[in-house]
Copies of this chain bind each other. A is one copy, B any other.
Amino acid sequence: MNTAATSLAPSADLPVDQYMDAVGRAARVAATAMAASSTAARNNVLLALAGQIRAHAGELKARNEADIIAAEKNGLAAPMVDRLRLTDKVIETMAESCEQVAALPDPVGEITNVRRRPTGISVGQMRVPIGVFGMIYESRPNVTIEAASLAIKSGNACVLRGGSEAIHSNLALWKLVQAALTQVGLPANAVQLVQTTDRAAVGQLIAMPQYVDVIIPRGGKGLIERISNEARVPVIKHLDGNCHTYVDSEVDLDLAVKVTDNAKTQKYSPCNATESLLVHAAQAAAFLPRIGKVFADKGVEMRADARAKAILADVPGAKVVEATEQDWFEEYLAPVIAVKVVDSLDEAIAHINHYGSHHTDAILTTNHPNGMRFIREVDSSSVMINASTRFADGFEYGLGAEIGISTDKFHARGPVGLEGLTSLKFVVLGQGEVRS
């Protein structure tokens, strides 16, 4: 058994810079053991963790109560307090998610694309863990289990930094993760939680390339911008989701109304909800009154350009205001949508590439070449034909898990599952070949 398996977590009594350095070093040591561990061992940790969570539900709720009381005392808004809460249902869902992650195929170890070269060597690529990832998040303590379970499954080590408002819940959850790792004989330091709420710890976590290979932040745009600007390692992130639905010149109107409605109103807060609606001029008179009625009935405010406004103004009950330039950039996360009439597919694509956030954009069309041009030329992490932007999600895509969504073009793009936590290295299998 590796000595890493029995190492203790660094003491949070150290000065923060020494503490974080020790955390980083311990993560790197644990990562090596995790990369060498078997699929069975990692799955057994996840099953053990599910058991730990169920067995300690009462303790989890008690520790969570300390966070809730503090949050209420600090005047945290009620929806934020709700997101903090570990109910029986949330606890059971955490346990089940560990079992589901255990059941996923192991992303690690596969060797692909092996080809014999004229020199005699065979060259392929092996999928291996990235190493150590840092995760910075706010509020919901179940993210601790999500991140820990994906780290374990993918053979990585991780350093978790949750919000200070959830520190008691996170510490209690972490204790169970450590217990599950130890139970199976894998290093407890494969998952570390930053035990101090000192903000300097975050600054250091994102600037230790010798220990941390990638940072995954989850939270508001401000947090993510700050982290991206200061990070000295790659960041898997999306800043915002200004998603578009474009209704093309040739379209099934019933389909367009149904899909646009879903893309905007099925939920207002997710990053994959549509925020801007573009309508080809040839369909504006037919389509806008119908979707305008849906939005009017659901209380969705429409920020429209002059042409769209002229049509929407006639819809009974519609809240229509004139769009400003800023509206085309906006991620409302609310019952508000920007609406614009465009004269061509080219104009739609140019608008999306200029004002969008490169997250998710959809075309609704019956014209095949238009659909293919749209998905090729719109420069976004997810592009869709005749589907709701709300589908942009790791589970809906069949990734089995989602650690985040990336709008960057490097490495992982779009919803990031286990594969985004891995890397490919080249393997060469020879019989003594030399280069001439």
> Which A residues fall within an 8 A CB radius of B?
32, 35-36, 109, 115, 117, 119, 121, 123, 126, 128, 130-131, 213-214, 234, 252, 255, 258-259, 261-263, 266, 353, 362, 373, 375-377, 379-388, 390-392, 396-398, 409-411, 413-415, 423-436
Contact = CB atoms under 8 A, between A and B. Distances in A.
B432 A35 contact: no
With a 10 A CB-CB cut-off, give which of A128, A425, A431 has the most chain B CB atoms.
A425
Contacts of A411: 410-411
Contacts of A392: 426, 428
A398 B415 CA distance: 31
Given A262-B435, A410-B214, A435-B262, A426 B123 contact: no
B234 A434 contact: no
A435 B252 contact: no
Contacts of A386: 429-433
Contacts of A425: 380-383, 413-414
A368 to B, nearest CB: 11
With a 10 A CB-CB cut-off, give which of A117, A130, A259, A430 has the most chain B CB atoms.
A430
B426 A381 contact: yes
A347 to B, nearest CB: 14
B375 A430 contact: no
A381 B131 CA distance: 13
Given A383-B427, A387-B429, A435 B121 contact: no
A115 B396 CA distance: 11
B131 A382 contact: no
B213 A387 contact: no
B376 A36 contact: yes
Nearest to A116: B398
A433 B376 CA distance: 21
B234 A117 contact: no
B213 A432 contact: no
